[in-house]
């Protein structure tokens, strides 16, 4: 199984299990992060993980680490930038 297929399968399984258990999105995100399936967090497999994780979290409304600002603040910053 290719790394991308393996990563996607794990993330979907944990998302479905978390929603069935009634977990909050931050807890589901934590479960996904803890289920990193490769040895080291470096190299090709890690880049695949990060790429799929970024898209998966955005698609399913899961919070990302480093996303410490709320959507309203980001929108305000963007609008002030465009002026």
Q: What is the pLDDT of residues 21-70, one digit of tens each?
A: 999 999 999 999 999 999 888 999 999 999 999 999 999 989 887 554 45
pTM for the full model? 0.74
User: Under DSSP, is residue 69 helix (H, G, I), strand (E, B) or coil?
Assistant: coil
78 falls in which pLDDT band (50, 70, 90)? Answer: low
| HSE value, Cβ hemisphere, 13 Å, CA-based, for 27 | 9
Q: What is the spatial distance between Cα 27 and Cα 40, in angstroms, rounded to a whole number?
A: 23
Contacts of 40 (CB under 8 A, 6+ apart): 46
Q: What is the spatial distance between Cα 14 and Cα 17, in angstroms, rounded to a whole number?
A: 5
Q: Are 11 and 52 in contact (CB under 8 A)?
A: yes
């Amino acid at each position: 199984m290719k790394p991308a297929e393996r990563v996607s399968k794990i993330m979907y399984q944990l998302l479905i299990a978390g929603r069935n258990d009634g977990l909050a999105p931050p807890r589901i995100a934590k479960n996904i992060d803890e289920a990193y399936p490769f040895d080291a967090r470096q190299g090709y497999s890690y880049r695949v993980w990060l790429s799929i994780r970024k898209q998966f979290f955005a698609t399913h409304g899961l919070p990302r680490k480093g996303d410490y600002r709320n959507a309203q603040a980001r929108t305000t910053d963007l609008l002030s930038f465009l002026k």
